[in-house]
């Protein structure tokens, strides 16, 4: 793994049934000034899980996020969190996805995204 995912510390787990799982071991570098995980970290984790589930359904055709929304339900400070992305709708040009981020069974964040299919067959690693 390289680039942004490595910088942040995201661990790409892979497909589990119809979902794609990405994990993060949270430490202080992920915190904002108030001491809990920054919302941008939750967004990045969800975005990667949703993009990966879309690409896996499209046989690794690349996608781009064109819209991303999140609901931050509770703060989190340390431990492991996991995003599980799933496809809601798969169209000819757009893919609509959702993700839940949890620590164990505790729901921390929900997210949704619209992804545009690039149609070029390029693989994203």
Helices (H) and strands (E) in the chain, counts: 2, 6
pTM of the model: 0.92
Task: Please choose, from the candidates 115, 99, 102, the residue with its C-alpha nearest in 3D space to the C-alpha of residue 24.
Answer: 102
- Cα angle 83, 16, 84 (rounded to 5 degrees) comes to 15
CB-CB contact of 82 with 21 (8 Å): yes
| 123 has pLDDT over 60 | no
For residue range 48-102, what is the model confidence (pLDDT) as tens digits? 999 999 999 998 689 999 999 999 999 999 999 999 999 999 999 999 999 999 9
The answer to whether the beta carbons of residues 90 and 102 sit under 8 Å apart is: no
Q: What percent of the chain shows pLDDT beyond 70?
A: 93
* Residue ranges of domains in the chain, CATH in brackets: 3-117 (3.10.129.10)
């Amino acid at each position: 793994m390289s680039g942004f995912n490595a910088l942040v510390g995201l661990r790409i787990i892979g497909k589990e049934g119809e979902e794609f799982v990405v994990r993060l071991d949270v430490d202080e570098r992920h915190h904002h000034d108030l001491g809990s995980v920054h919302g941008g970290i939750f967004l990045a984790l969800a975005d990667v899980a949703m993009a990966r589930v879309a690409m896996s359904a499209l046989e690794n055709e690349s996608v781009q996020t064109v819209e991303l929304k999140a609901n931050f339900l509770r703060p989190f400070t340390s431990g492991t969190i996991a995003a599980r992305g799933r496809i809601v709708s798969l169209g000819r040009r757009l893919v609509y996805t959702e993700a839940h981020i949890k620590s164990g069974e505790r729901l921390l964040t929900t997210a949704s995204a619209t992804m545009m299919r690039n149609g070029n067959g390029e693989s994203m690693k």
